[in-house]
């Protein structure tokens, strides 16, 4: 059974069409982060009231071009998720660091995250105005979790895990670990891409830390409304001293990360 899974994974991994889909997945991830970054900048200017996946993607299906873009983003993110699952299957037969379970869990987590985001993006394509609101969904999830025995502990662990993920993003950005995933033999603009990666990874790390702190705060205060997703994280930041300036930097950083994702799609080691 294990050999059959590895055989299928190898066939998928070496398929040229699937490689193109995976590369487009990174570009789709960049488009999504670019839309969020631009929405953050709009929040600083007071031009938008809500920033989350639903708020960013919901307007797209209203036009033909937006519908096509959303469909492409969804397909790309789902393909990117599947590529991480394929990588895990191949890692199980590799020697050395690939055999270590933390790395395999990391790949599985990434795959699951991209798959969920891609599938939820499809919801906006087909459900349109009936699509669920991400802020409300986050609050409802938190409320149900807090109602369970030891729910506040589980919520606190989730918050700490998100904060740890954010710290890991910052670490990978500052130490340039992200560059290990790039093929520099085909790249002419190595230094600019490295700079984009550093800024982008740090910005995304700070976003995760802000988001994780909301879940931790909801666990401590037993108030599910505190866990209002990305929208709440950004609005909490803007309420701080120098908050608009911090949010401006963060929004620009997410746009930079989006550009890096496009570069990664073109030059990723697959």
pLDDT tens-digit map of 63-74? 788 788 888 989
Read off the pLDDT band of 98 (50, 70, 90).
low
For residue 111, what pLDDT band results from cuts at 50, 70 and 90? confident
Contact predicate 204/178, CB 8 Å = no
Q: What is the pLDDT of residues 17-31, one digit of tens each?
A: 988 999 999 999 999
* Residues in CB range of 5: below 8 A, 6 or more apart: 89
Mean pLDDT of 168-188: 89
Check if the beta carbon of residue 247 is closer than 8 Å to that of residue 44: yes
Residue 79 lies in domain: 2-267
Q: Which residues of 172-199 are buried (b: 16+ CB within 10 A; e: fewer)?
A: bbeeeebeeebeeeeeeeeeebbebbbb
Residue 243 DSSP symbol: H
Domains identified in the chain, total number: 1
Asked whether the beta carbons of 138 and 229 are under 8 A apart, the reply is yes
Can you give the pTM of this predicted structure? 0.83
Can you tell me which residue has the tokens 């991400």?
134
For residue 50, CA distances in Å to 32, 35, 265 come to 16, 13, 29
Instruction: Name the 3-class secondary structure at 82.
Output: helix
- Residues in CB range of 9: below 8 A, 6 or more apart: 86, 89, 90
Token pair belonging to 40: 């953050």
What does the alpha-carbon distance between residue 3 and residue 234 come to, in Å, rounded to a whole number?
46
Residue 99: pLDDT band with limits 50, 70, 90: low
Instruction: Give, to the nearest 10 degrees, the angle between helix 151-174 and helix 134-146.
Output: 130
pLDDT tens digits, residue range 44-94?
A: 777 555 555 555 666 666 678 878 888 898 999 999 999 988 888 887 666
Higher-pLDDT residue of 141, 194: 194
**N-term to C-term CA, the chain:** 25
Contacts of 185 (CB under 8 A, 6+ apart): none
* Residues sharing a CB contact under 8 Å with residue 17, sequence separation 6 or more, in sequence order: none
């Amino acid at each position: 059974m294990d050999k059959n899974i590895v055989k299928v994974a190898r066939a998928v991994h070496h398929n040229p069409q699937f490689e193109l889909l995976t590369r487009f997945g990174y570009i789709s991830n960049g488009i999504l982060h670019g839309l969020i970054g631009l929405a953050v900048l709009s929040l600083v200017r007071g031009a938008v009231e809500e920033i989350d996946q639903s708020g960013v993607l919901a307007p797209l299906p209203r036009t033909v071009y937006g519908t096509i873009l959303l469909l492409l983003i969804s397909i790309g993110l789902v393909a990117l998720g599947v590529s991480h699952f394929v990588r895990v299957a191949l890692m199980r037969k590799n020697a050395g660091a690939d055999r270590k379970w933390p790395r395999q869990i990391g790949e599985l987590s990434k795959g699951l995250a991209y798959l969920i985001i891609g599938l939820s993006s499809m919801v906006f394509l087909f459900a349109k105005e009936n699509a669920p609101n991400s802020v409300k969904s986050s609050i409802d999830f938190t409320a149900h979790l807090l109602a369970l025995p030891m729910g506040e502990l589980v919520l606190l662990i989730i918050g700490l895990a998100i904060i740890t993920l954010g710290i890991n993003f910052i670490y990978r950005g500052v130490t340039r670990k992200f560059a290990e995933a790039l093929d520099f033999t085909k790249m002419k603009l190595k230094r600019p891409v490295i700079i984009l990666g550093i800024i982008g990874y740090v910005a995304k790390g700070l976003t995760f830390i802000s988001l994780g702190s909301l879940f931790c705060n909801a666990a401590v205060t037993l108030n599910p409304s505190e866990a209002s997703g990305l929208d709440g994280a950004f609005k909490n930041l803007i309420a701080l001293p120098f908050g608009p300036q911090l949010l401006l930097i963060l929004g620009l950083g997410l746009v930079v990360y989006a550009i890096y994702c496009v570069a990664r799609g073109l030059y990723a080691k697959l």
